[in-house]
Structure 1
Amino acid sequence: MKAIIIGGGIGGLTTALCLNEAGIDVQVYESVQELRPLGVGINLLPHSVRVLTNLRLEEKIASMAVETSDLVYFNKFGQKFWQEPRGRHAGYQWPQFSIHRGGFQMLLLEAVKERLGEDAVRTNHHLESFEETPEGIRATFVDRETGQVLGTDVGDLLVGCDGIHSVVRKQLYTQEGSPCFSGNVLYRGTTRMPPFLNGTSMVMVGSMKQKMVAYPISPDLDANGHQLINWVANLKEPDTQLMTVRDWNRPADQDWLVQKYQQWTFDWLDVPAMIAGAGAVYEFPMSDRDPLGRWTFGRTTLLGDAAHPMYPIGSNGASQAILDAEVLADCLQSAPDIPAALQNYEQKRLPATSQVVQGNRQKGPDQILDIMEERAPNGFTDPYEVFPYAEMDTIMSRYKVIAGFDKESLNQKH
């Protein structure tokens, strides 16, 4: 059996590793000329780290990531109102990791080349079209810059792992149109600075109108004792139409952003200094797509952001793609034929991920930020007087169940 994987991102590379473990031949195709360690930080939740551990990658990940100890919520005045342990600190069998997205992608790429061969990933091959034939799936590739046809490949199945602007999805759903813009713009950067809190904490500050997320993504301290901190500022766009004229990932006005957060100087974190200290700041319109009724058409299916792009709330985007990869490999091993296996994969993962997409649209666990802002816009003396602990706990626990990482269920898995 041979699988053609479209896309060399986290979802595509993890899928290649999982399918290889299942004894399936794999060829990955990627549009860009060279895969480079781009991007900022991401979180890998325990349910995805379980998959990566089974792929024998945990040790390498741990060497370059921060094992997240706790998640802490603060209001816009820097007052703490929720704190919970994460990963192994919370009793999970697996850790939660904060890691540089590009570094993690390069780790996966190295593993794919080691296990599947140097030619397992072909770059500068942009999918132009595909068709199902009596022999299987035939895919045609071009040079995206020149349009020159580079050739075709034939496989038994094709997996679209090519992101929110998926070519595979576009061929399956020709009338779908553009992603859905949330009205929020994310501003992302990384800054070398002194560690905050205990040096392994992830923080959420403010509300969905104006929010800051920050967490360390490297365990190493430099000569000044500084740590690489990943941060994401979330601002509600006053005019959602402005986003139609912007690139998807363009440099932002750093000085303007510093001014927006000028008052956010806390005794545990200086937010304006953190923004000002970044080498570059990029803006990104927070977008998703409506959940689909189906991903699978014969011998073709979708995975990761191509299947279920979601708002980056609850630290779940990359983790859900990793879960997809494991389930797909399991289904291909156990089903009698490929179309049946892909249908089985879809039945297991489509409803689950649709719940996460919809849950993130309802602000996921971060809704506790907005509730606290509504109830105590001027701050509080005792947070539990305005927002009882049990009420917050219910919201946080419910999201863990929706996203598939409630501790009791997960710890029963291997």
Structure 2
Amino acid sequence: MRIVIAGAGIGGLAAALSLHAAGFEDVTVHEAVPEIRPLGVGVNLLPHAVRELTELGLADRLAAIGVATAELAYFNRYGTPIWSEPRGLAAGYAWPQYSVHRGRLQLLLLEAVTERLGPHAVRTGSRITGPGDEDLLIGADGIHSAVRARLHPGEGPPPWNGLVLWRGTTYGEPFLTGRSMIMAGDGTQKFVAYPIETGGRTLINWIAERPLDGEAPDRGNWNRPADPAEIVRHFADWRFDWLDVPGVIAGAGAAYEYPMVDRDPLPRWTFGNVTLLGDAAHAMYPIGSNGASQAIIDARVLAHSLARGDLASYEEQRRPAATALQLSNRRMGPEVVMKLAHERAPGGFDDIEEIVPYAERAEIAASYKRTAGFDPASLNERPSWSVTRRFSPRPSPRPSPRPSGAHRPGASSG
């Protein structure tokens, strides 16, 4: 079975590894850029994604490049605690949670693909927009997916919600546990910080968010440069006993601007021998640390479904779950606790229990875990998606018209 993957990002590379592990030998990844470089800043891998990478034999490599997250904590804009919870092993998961530089994660996956599938398994400078002579084409080419555009023409640019994200990394002093992921906000602005390197020096990945006046430029471009000094003025008085927010922003060597965009949920991912994966299928707001994790889950479920000769089951399992998560993220997901605290006590508070009771906060956190598929008990008890292929699988997609066209130059990005 000949499988072609458009896009050598985290989802596309995870798909190649998953398919190979399931027994598929003829898998090729095509990436539009001429060279894959370690671009980007920090991402989080939640325990359900770490489980999948562990079952792919990457646990030690992942531990070597990531910081095991100890806790997630929410604060208001004055640095007053709203909610905190342990993460990873400390929360009862069988697998850790990691914060890691996106580029290093991508190169880790690329190295594993090259080792296992061969040096020519990933072809750079190669754009794919539609099906050719392969048995299956997987569109894993990101939020501006050319494959998706062929399946669902006329969508236009990603919808924007009026917020802008600024992202950067800064060497600084460790805060709280030293492995904490924090979010502070007032319902209008938000600041996120977590370490992606520890040891001699702590490299802090940070995100600053607020409404942007005017139209958003370059929707979906993570690499638009921004001036840290311009960002600082919006957070100048966000100095907490445990973190100097303007100091962290000002200390960045570089910062990047990104309008908060996503994609509308799709009624269908699969047409004949073409299907979608990751951001190409379900780009979502960067809420709840789920973008990279969900792409990895897609990859594993797709490989499991194909090994059983049932492509349709991939979409049946993944599309409703991803749609629910996309919509939850549009409602702020677990971060809604910061909005509630601000709405009920805009000037601050002394006792969060009087503002947002514990039971309400706990249910917000638990509900999101269920929606995103990383409730601890369910994840720990779920059967593995690893497979041992005992037959020659073929896809069995639902009957449908095949989209017109074949391999043509287009935009494919990882």
- TM-score, normalised to structure 1, is 0.90
Equivalent-residue separation in structure 2 for 1:61 and 1:36 (angstroms): 18
Q: Which residue of 1 aligns with 2:22?
A: 22
Equivalent-residue separation in structure 2 for 1:99 and 1:74 (angstroms): 23
Equivalent-residue separation in structure 2 for 1:343 and 1:357 (angstroms): 21
SS at match of 1:366: helix
Q: Which residue of 1 aligns with 2:311?
A: 342
Shift of 1:246: 7.0
1:5-16 equivalences under 5 Å are 5-16=5-16
Q: Which residue of 1 aligns with 2:348?
A: 379
> Which amino acid is 2:210 matched to?
L
State whether residues 64 and 219 of structure 1, in contact with CA within 8 Å, keep that contact through their aligned partners in structure 2: no
Equivalent-residue separation in structure 2 for 1:227 and 1:70 (angstroms): 16
Equivalent-residue separation in structure 2 for 1:410 and 1:69 (angstroms): 19
State whether residues 78 and 266 of structure 1, in contact with CA within 8 Å, keep that contact through their aligned partners in structure 2: yes
Say whether residues 1:361 and 2:334 are aligned partners. no
Identity of aligned residues (%): 55
Q: Which residue of 2 aligns with 1:338?
A: none
Show CA shifts across 1:156-182 (max 9, x none).
Answer: 100000000000001111111111111
Q: Which residue of 2 aligns with 1:157?
A: 136
Say whether residues 1:185 and 2:164 are aligned partners. yes
Q: Which residue of 1 aligns with 2:297?
A: 323
> Which amino acid is 1:234 matched to?
E
Q: Which residue of 1 aligns with 2:208?
A: 233
Equivalent-residue separation in structure 2 for 1:301 and 1:207 (angstroms): 40
Say whether residues 1:243 and 2:216 are aligned partners. yes
Q: Which residue of 2 aligns with 1:310?
A: 284
Cα distance change of structure 1 residues 17 and 246 upon mapping to structure 2, 3 Å threshold: closer
Shift of 1:23: 1.0
**Aligned counterpart for 1:285 among listed residues 249, 255, 259:** 259
Unaligned runs of 5+ in 1: 132-137, 139-153, 336-340
Say whether residues 1:215 and 2:188 are aligned partners. no
> Which amino acid is 1:199 matched to?
G
After alignment, is 307-316 or 80-89 more displaced?
Answer: 80-89
State whether residues 189 and 282 of structure 1, in contact with CA within 8 Å, keep that contact through their aligned partners in structure 2: yes
State whether residues 48 and 379 of structure 2, in contact with CA within 8 Å, keep that contact through their aligned partners in structure 1: yes
Size of the alignment, in residue pairs?
381
Equivalent-residue separation in structure 2 for 1:120 and 1:245 (angstroms): 31
Say whether residues 1:271 and 2:245 are aligned partners. yes
Show CA shifts across 1:283-323 (max 9, x none).
Answer: 00110111000000011000000000000000000000000
Shift of 1:53: 0.4
Shift of 1:342: 2.3
State whether residues 196 and 205 of structure 2, in contact with CA within 8 Å, keep that contact through their aligned partners in structure 1: yes
Q: Which residue of 2 aligns with 1:176?
A: 155
Q: Which residue of 1 aligns with 2:181?
A: 202
Shift of 1:231: 0.3
State whether residues 310 and 317 of structure 1, in contact with CA within 8 Å, keep that contact through their aligned partners in structure 2: yes
SS at match of 1:118: coil
SS at match of 2:130: strand
State whether residues 160 and 302 of structure 1, in contact with CA within 8 Å, keep that contact through their aligned partners in structure 2: yes
> Which amino acid is 1:59 matched to?
D
Q: Which residue of 2 aligns with 1:109?
A: 110
> Which amino acid is 1:156 matched to?
D
> Which amino acid is 2:205 matched to?
N
> Which amino acid is 1:130 matched to?
G
SS at match of 2:265: coil
Question: Where has structure 1 moved over 4 Å in runs of 4 or more?
Answer: 244-247
> Which amino acid is 2:345 matched to?
A
Q: Which residue of 2 aligns with 1:142?
A: none
Shift of 1:236: 1.5
SS at match of 1:84: strand
State whether residues 160 and 260 of structure 2, in contact with CA within 8 Å, keep that contact through their aligned partners in structure 1: yes
SS at match of 1:231: strand
- TM-score, normalised to structure 2, is 0.90
Q: Which residue of 1 aligns with 2:369?
A: 400
State whether residues 208 and 234 of structure 1, in contact with CA within 8 Å, keep that contact through their aligned partners in structure 2: no
Cα distance change of structure 1 residues 370 and 343 upon mapping to structure 2, 3 Å threshold: same
SS at match of 1:378: coil
Shift of 1:245: 6.6
SS at match of 2:302: helix
State whether residues 49 and 297 of structure 2, in contact with CA within 8 Å, keep that contact through their aligned partners in structure 1: yes
SS at match of 2:168: strand
Cα distance change of structure 1 residues 320 and 252 upon mapping to structure 2, 3 Å threshold: same
Equivalent-residue separation in structure 1 for 2:160 and 2:20 (angstroms): 36
Select the structure that is richer in strand.
1
SS at match of 2:157: coil
SS at match of 1:365: helix
State whether residues 288 and 334 of structure 2, in contact with CA within 8 Å, keep that contact through their aligned partners in structure 1: yes
Unaligned runs of 5+ in 2: 385-414
Equivalent-residue separation in structure 2 for 1:183 and 1:199 (angstroms): 33
Equivalent-residue separation in structure 1 for 2:229 and 2:220 (angstroms): 20
Equivalent-residue separation in structure 1 for 2:218 and 2:114 (angstroms): 39
SS at match of 1:352: helix
> Which amino acid is 2:203 matched to?
L
Equivalent-residue separation in structure 1 for 2:82 and 2:328 (angstroms): 22
Equivalent-residue separation in structure 2 for 1:245 and 1:91 (angstroms): 41
State whether residues 299 and 342 of structure 1, in contact with CA within 8 Å, keep that contact through their aligned partners in structure 2: no
SS at match of 1:272: helix
Say whether residues 1:130 and 2:130 are aligned partners. yes
